[in-house]
Amino acid sequence: MTTTTTAGTTKVYRVYIKATPQAIWDAITKPEWTRKYGYQGIADFDLRPGGRYRALAIPEHREAGMPEVPVEGEVIEVDPPVRLVQTWRPTWLDEPATRLTYEIAERGNGVTSLTVTHELAGAPQTLAQVNGEVENAGGGWPEVLSDLKSLLETGSSLYA
């Protein structure tokens, strides 16, 4: 996986996955997939411009004190299975929503790139969280994308 920082507040993460663009799209947008990797939040998308996005906490995380909706946002642009743009805001932080873009591109030989661009200006706590810099809070986007890659290529999460 490659990670690039631009101007300090825009993070770009790219991972190459042996999967189809549709499989990656489904893994990002469908709750039956999002429950299997990363923080295991259950995706609730209204996949149309202006539609709502919510990540719903699983029961185990709610029992540990996580809010029912730890992340919320609004869908800005939808072009399945190649591009999704949305806002993204952790509900427990007092910061503005950030902008998150997923770009999915077929590369050939069954390999597809997934580029996640997270624009984080004005949200330093969110920046630290998604960069994996918060103690005992997971590895942020690098960990989530690594787990997604493992799940799609092997059928198992990193932590299964």
Encoded tokens for 99? 């902008």
Mean pLDDT calculated for residue range 3-22: 84
Q: What is the mean pLDDT of residues 146-151?
A: 97
- pLDDT value, residue 7: 55
User: Can you count the helices (H) and strands (E) in the chain?
Assistant: 5, 8
Say how many residues make up the chain: 160
Amino acid 1: pLDDT? 54
Residue 40 lies in domain: 2-154
Region 50-76: mean pLDDT is 94
State which amino acid sits at residue 119: E
| Predicted structure pTM score | 0.92
Q: What local confidence, expressed as pLDDT, does residue 138 receive?
A: 77
The answer to whether position 160 is within a domain reads no
- Write the pLDDT tens digit of every residue in 64-91: 888 999 999 999 999 999 999 999 999 9
Residue 159, pLDDT score: 82
Which one-letter DSSP state was computed for residue 57? P
In a domain, 116, yes or no: yes
CATH number at residue 125: 3.30.530.20
The answer to whether residue 159 sits within a structural domain is no
Instruction: Give the residue-averaged pLDDT of 40-52.
Output: 96
Amino acid 4: pLDDT: 47
Residue 77 belongs to some domain of the structure: yes
83 lies in some domain: yes
Q: What is the C-alpha to C-alpha distance for residues 43 and 45, in angstroms, rounded to an integer?
A: 6
Where are the alpha helices (H) located in 68-136, listed in sequence order?
124-130
Number of domains in the chain: 1
Q: What tens digit of pLDDT does each residue of 108-145 get?
A: 999 999 999 999 999 999 999 998 888 877 789 999 99
Residue 71, domain member (yes or no): yes
147, part of any domain = yes
Give the count of alpha carbons within 13 A of 127, CB side only: 15
